[in-house]
Amino acid sequence: MIDKMFDKRKSLILVADDSRFMRFTLREFLEKDGYEVIEAKNGKQVLSLFEERKPDIILMDFMMPEIDGVSACAQLQQLPQGRNTPVIMITSLDDEESVNLAFEAGATDYIGKPINWAVLRKRLSRLLQARRTEITLDQNDAFASSIINHAIEGIITIDVNGIIGYINPSAEKIFGYASNEVIGASINMLIPELCYNDCTNLDVNSKFPEKNLEILGRKKNNSNLPLEATISKFYVDDRFFFTIILRDITERRHYEETIRYQAFYDSLTDLPNRLLLKDRIELEISHSKHTNQNLAIMYLDLDRFKLINDTLGHDIGDKLLKEIAVRLKSCVNETDTVARIGGDEFVILLPAIAHEENIGNIATKILETIRETIIIDSHELYISVSIGVTIYPDDGKDVETLLTNADVAMYRAKEKGKNNFQLYTPALNEKALERLAMENSLRRALEYKEFVVYYQPKVSTETEQIIGMEALIRWQHPNWGLVPPAKFIPLAEETGLIVPIGEWVLRTACAQTKAFQNAGLPPLTVAVNLSALQFQLQDLTTMVSNVLEETGLDPRYLELEITESIAMQNVEHTIKMINELKAMGIKFAIDDFGTGYSSLSQLNSFSVNKLKIDKSFVSKIDGVKDHSIIASTVLALGKSMALGVVAEGVENQEQVNFFKLNKCDEMQGYFFGKPMSKEDFEMFYYKKLHKD
């Protein structure tokens, strides 16, 4: 860069002599050689022109008026850049004392009079080249110094004994020390483990004369920080030193730890995830092979968690999962592993289990702990858990088999009524395969039009004439025949398929009711059950409105039924939905009334039209007063609230007489007609009309 700068301009030479002739002669010679020349006739002018023009070299006579050459030379040394500018003294004096005076004053060289022009030419060329080199080196040093001082990395130099000779600003910032606090101190002050083990073994003659390592540094406040260090060796005057380039990798370490945490832990509950769980199970299996001790796997799934999540929102659901995690950990030892492997599924690894009885005790403790009331954001929640258990090595020799079989056992626990635990047995695999086959078939049933709607008549208690019907789904499987609702409805609810299935039932029932009317039959009201997922998840009002519009059924002929437990899951939502649908002209009934936990005030706030007495209470009516007390209570409650009451599951004359006597509004059951296909129902209705 400096060379290019010199190439672009002529070198400027200041000629100083009190002789005009001498100045003219020098100018003529120098300009012919391509130099630019300025003149001074005394030492005072030399100093003035130097500060003004900054010449590259000075040719100055020894003897001049006002300020002589030696004095001017001495004063030049005190000016900025003066010490670095070459000065050639021109003198007719040839004594050693004069020459020494010139050199002591700062002269670079001298040439005698008369001037040997060839010698002058050589000396000018040599001194200018040296000056260029010096400027280049100075600039390179300044450039290097700027890079080092402004480098993001910390840079430290030490000698063979580990004594710090230099520390740049970034290193000062990393360690919290000022340079004057550490220069002259041992590198062990900043990096305790570094010096002798890592530096002195470097070989500058090797192909890779550097060492990269991660090491701990110690800050001024005595805290440690992780550093990435590159150490290199260099020589100066046959002595070797070390340069240490440092990077603070605290943020990188935090990032790596975050990535590692996310890879092995569940971010919501801070429990180990599936990956870490498998690793720990494999470790315990390996350990068990040497100790001949059993280990147990518990596969846990929260009962009806999806309903809570969808009803109250994911924020409540997340808080619930965190509370469940805390409770599960409280039920086991610190040596056990509680993991969350997805959604509402947890797995507990119990190493070194001696007896099955111990597993049962732990499972019972978990069931009781989870069942305790959970209050989240003023919501009082009740939840239970189903647990499947496998034992190594009896129920599986590897991780996947143990987890799969524990999952199978967990589903069996759910089938048995939830809120319990089930030990795995090989026979459960058959049930699991059967369940999987049913789920796959259920997913295709709508597409393959395997569902049908049956209709059960509802009669007026007073006249026993048909006044309505309840729509009930049936599954006509091509291989299994007619699948009972009790077998596939729970699976449909669990998988979420109940939502599209429920909408299909509503649409089909409304369309058929309209078709009966179009066929000339007296108008009937059709009752359709809503599932919990339909009621809580869907934009129910929009869906029902669209169905009525598509089928053309007048809303007053539609009655929607929800169970008491569904109504109680989210009272505010229940009230909102009922009010919106009733505003359209639709009727509402509480199904299976008496089996839930609603209060009188809550029931009144629902604004329903009817209560349906659950058939379990109806079946107990046998002439014994105590057996009919619940049915009597529901009837009395309905009358007090001006609600219609429907008795379902009526199967004999004694029950009919009871409800007639107690002024029940409607009845349905096998006594009046079983659920039947649309064709059979139409024929049945015609016959009843003609008979009556």
246 with 343, same domain: the answer is no
Give the CATH number, domain containing residue 298: 3.30.70.270
Q: pLDDT class for 386, splitting at 50, 70, 90?
A: very high
Cα dihedral across residues 576, 581, 587, 588: positive or negative: negative
How buried is 179 (Cβ within 10 angstroms: 0-12 exposed, 13-18 middle, 19+ buried)? middle
pLDDT over 70 at 369, yes or no: yes
Identify whether 679 is part of a domain: yes
370 with 493, same domain: the answer is no
Domain boundary residue, one of 221, 252, 283? 252
Of 107, 123, 127, nearest to 115 by C-alpha is 123
Of 483, 473, 472, nearest to 438 by C-alpha is 483
Question: What integer pLDDT is reported at residue 195 of this predicted model?
Answer: 56
Provide the residue type at 505 as one letter. Answer: V
Identify whether 605 is part of a domain: yes
101 with 19, same domain: the answer is yes
What is the number of other CB atoms lying within 10 angstroms of the CB of residue 29?
Answer: 16
Q: pLDDT class for 291, splitting at 50, 70, 90?
A: confident
Question: What integer pLDDT is reported at residue 206 of this predicted model?
Answer: 46
398 with 381, same domain: the answer is yes
Identify whether 108 is part of a domain: yes
Q: pLDDT class for 407, splitting at 50, 70, 90?
A: very high
Structural domain boundaries enclosing 23 = 2-145
Q: How far apart are CA 16 and CA 76, in angstroms?
A: 13
Question: What integer pLDDT is reported at residue 431 of this predicted model?
Answer: 72
Q: Which two structure tokens, joined as six digits, stand for 333? A: 């030892």
Question: What integer pLDDT is reported at residue 626 of this predicted model?
Answer: 64
Cα dihedral across residues 652, 656, 659, 662: positive or negative: negative
Q: How far apart are CA 230 and CA 93, in angstroms?
A: 60
| Mean pLDDT estimate for the chain | 86
561 with 587, same domain: the answer is yes
Question: What integer pLDDT is reported at residue 208 of this predicted model?
Answer: 41
Residue whose pair of structure tokens reads 């000698």 in the numeric block: 159
Residue whose pair of structure tokens reads 């003609």 in the numeric block: 690
Helix (H) or strand (E) holding 60: strand 57-61
User: Which is more confident, 322 or 113?
Assistant: 322
* Radius of gyration (C-alpha) of the chain in whole angstroms: 49
Identify whether 692 is part of a domain: no
Helices (H), 331-426: 356-371, 399-415
129 with 182, same domain: the answer is no
Identify whether 358 is part of a domain: yes
414 with 480, same domain: the answer is no
pLDDT over 70 at 340, yes or no: yes
Give the CATH number, domain containing residue 172: 3.30.450.20
For 172-194, the three-class secondary structure string (H helix, E strand, C coil) is HHHHCCCHHHHCCCEHHHCCCCC
Give the CATH number, domain containing residue 579: 3.20.20.450
pLDDT over 80 at 453, yes or no: yes
CA dihedral 189, 193, 196, 197 (to 10 degrees): -170
Report DSSP state, residue 194. T
Report DSSP state, residue 520. T
Determine the average pLDDT of the residues in 330-349.
94
Question: What integer pLDDT is reported at residue 95 of this predicted model?
Answer: 66
Q: pLDDT class for 8, splitting at 50, 70, 90?
A: very low
Question: What integer pLDDT is reported at residue 636 of this predicted model?
Answer: 87
Question: What integer pLDDT is reported at residue 311 of this predicted model?
Answer: 73
Q: How far apart are CA 99 and CA 107, in angstroms?
A: 9
Q: Which two structure tokens, joined as six digits, stand for 483? A: 């699948």
The answer, yes or no, to whether the previous bond of 169 is cis (omega within 30 of 0) is no
Determine the average pLDDT of the residues in 111-129.
87
Number of domains in the chain: 4
Domain boundary residue, one of 127, 145, 163? 145
| pLDDT tens digit sequence for 661-689 | 999 999 999 999 999 999 999 999 998 88
Degrees, nearest 5: CA angle 136-142-148: 135
Q: pLDDT class for 142, splitting at 50, 70, 90?
A: low
Are 517 and 523 in contact by the 8 Å Cβ rule? The answer is yes
Q: pLDDT class for 201, splitting at 50, 70, 90?
A: low
Q: How far apart are CA 481 and CA 466, in angstroms?
A: 30
26 with 78, same domain: the answer is yes
493 with 633, same domain: the answer is yes
Identify whether 432 is part of a domain: no
327 with 344, same domain: the answer is yes
Sequence-ordered list of residues with C-beta below 8 angstroms from that of 103, at least 6 positions apart, any chain: none
Identify whether 434 is part of a domain: no
Question: Please, how many CA atoms are within 13 Å of residue 13, restricted to the half-sphere of its CB?
Answer: 26
Question: What integer pLDDT is reported at residue 3 of this predicted model?
Answer: 44
Q: pLDDT class for 272, splitting at 50, 70, 90?
A: very high
Q: pLDDT class for 200, splitting at 50, 70, 90?
A: low
Domain boundary residue, one of 395, 425, 455? 425
Q: How far apart are CA 15 and CA 661, in angstroms?
A: 139
Question: What integer pLDDT is reported at residue 147 of this predicted model?
Answer: 58
Of 173, 155, 170, nearest to 232 by C-alpha is 155
475 with 564, same domain: the answer is yes
In percent, the amount of the chain with pLDDT more than 90 equals 43
Q: How far apart are CA 159 and CA 234, in angstroms?
A: 10
| pLDDT tens digit sequence for 416-450 | 878 899 998 887 777 777 777 888 899 899 889 99
Determine the average pLDDT of the residues in 404-411.
92
| pLDDT tens digit sequence for 592-624 | 776 554 555 566 677 889 999 888 889 888 766
| pLDDT tens digit sequence for 482-518 | 998 988 998 898 888 999 999 999 999 999 999 999 9
Identify whether 437 is part of a domain: no
Give the CATH number, domain containing residue 132: 3.40.50.2300
636 with 487, same domain: the answer is yes
Helix (H) or strand (E) holding 467: strand 466-477
In percent, the amount of the chain with pLDDT more than 70 equals 90
